[in-house]
Structure 1
């Protein structure tokens, strides 16, 4: 990822990190429940053909309570020599009234040891700026946010962390609507490096580049799936493993979020396939084994047997023939376990005399 800052996974040093992991485990635990996926994502090929919240939350725009409901239109420079005046002003600035939001903010600690405090709690101030767009308190350089600081935007979003040249850069935490959070590294205002994004619906822990998931990562979707593997451009790309809530599993290559290349799929009835994929479908050469251990080895097109293949029953009988759209077509050779061979003819999967 170039020269972007990176960090190993967080050590558990404060309560926020404990809580965020508990949320991760809560989301992950739902994958063990026996319920159906309710999204439109492709989960598995048609096994029959092969065998023949958000929670109660509120908007972050409700988090802030302005004095008499009026936005401040001030541009004030208050330096350390004017701390008494700064403290007096803080008591008039927007207060963070949501307990969870205040906790998410005040529990933040950067790798360099900086800590955030809620507005009005008398932090050490280098600079305060308040206007119709945002409220900022923190370090300042050349009329720009630079160093460690806290910014509350008019739409209710909150950022605390490192700034360079008026952009989020370095390590920081962003609190979005519904208390969704990103905690990790930034570059020029975008997620870049190692970071964790957590919401009531999903959890992602891993690398980012230019604001998108990129590199090794772990992604958990509530009541849906758990994926561990590679990302590129915000999508699953490269090798990875995805396990669904109903215990079906794919392990292999992805292209732009879809199964593509070499991979294996395991159904929850014990059937499995190993071979080639294209656009989330079995496509190319592979081996399919059903729940009774009958095995087909050959060509597939769009999840169906298509082309030359061999079907071996669990009793040892072997059939060699040609399939069209999942059905045997034309002449087939059947070899029994005792070595005896016979020729049979098929039309649309039905044996004919």
Structure 2
């Protein structure tokens, strides 16, 4: 049977934030919880080499992101609850990217399609709160090119 050594640590940062959890070489590694200064958010999840890999980040007002990270930014698959919007899909370097679905939690408003740098871009279907729809091309968050309303 192989023995695995687990190192635990606690770091208190100058800005008032803190980290408690696995560490290796003075960096967060393994499971840990990092709390930002003055209630500015909390990340709970897996770390590698001091960076978030996968977990849940909770901001003030109960906004949340659960998913994958790379180099300190949301990257990969994830789900974000922010205000009355829910986004499920891919993230690229911290922004909604490639393909995803954003829908309102208060109405039937919804967009399903491609994204670039956090904006509808490429092709998608938007359903409005009044049940009207637009299906077609998008450019930098605006309807652009061919489409049907």
TM-score of the alignment, normalized to the shorter chain, above 0.5: yes
Aligned-pair distance for 1:126?
1.5
- Alignment match, 1:160: 44
Q: Which has the higher contact order (CA 8 A, sep 6+)?
A: 1
Q: Check 1:125–1:144 CA distance in 2 against 1; reply closer, same or farther (3 A cut).
A: closer
Gaps of 5+ in 1: 1-123, 266-353
More strand by percentage = 2
How far apart in 2 are the matches of 1:177 and 1:224? 26
Equivalence map 1:121-270=2 (5 Å): 126-132=8-14, 133-156=16-39, 157-168=41-52, 170-221=53-104, 222-223=106-107, 225-265=109-149
How far apart in 2 are the matches of 1:129 and 1:188? 19
How far apart in 2 are the matches of 1:256 and 1:173? 28
Aligned-pair distance for 1:224?
7.0
Number of residue pairs matched by the alignment: 141
More helix by percentage = 1
Gaps of 5+ in 2: 1-5
Aligned-pair distance for 1:256?
0.6
Say if 2:45 and 2:54, in contact at 8 Å, map to a contact too. Answer: yes
TM-score normalized with structure 2 length: 0.88
Residue aligned with 1:146, SS: strand
Say if 2:108 and 2:131, in contact at 8 Å, map to a contact too. Answer: no
Say if 1:125 and 1:137, in contact at 8 Å, map to a contact too. Answer: no
Residue aligned with 2:38, SS: coil
Point out the structure with max Rg over C-alpha: 1
Say if 2:7 and 2:24, in contact at 8 Å, map to a contact too. Answer: no
How far apart in 2 are the matches of 1:243 and 1:175? 28
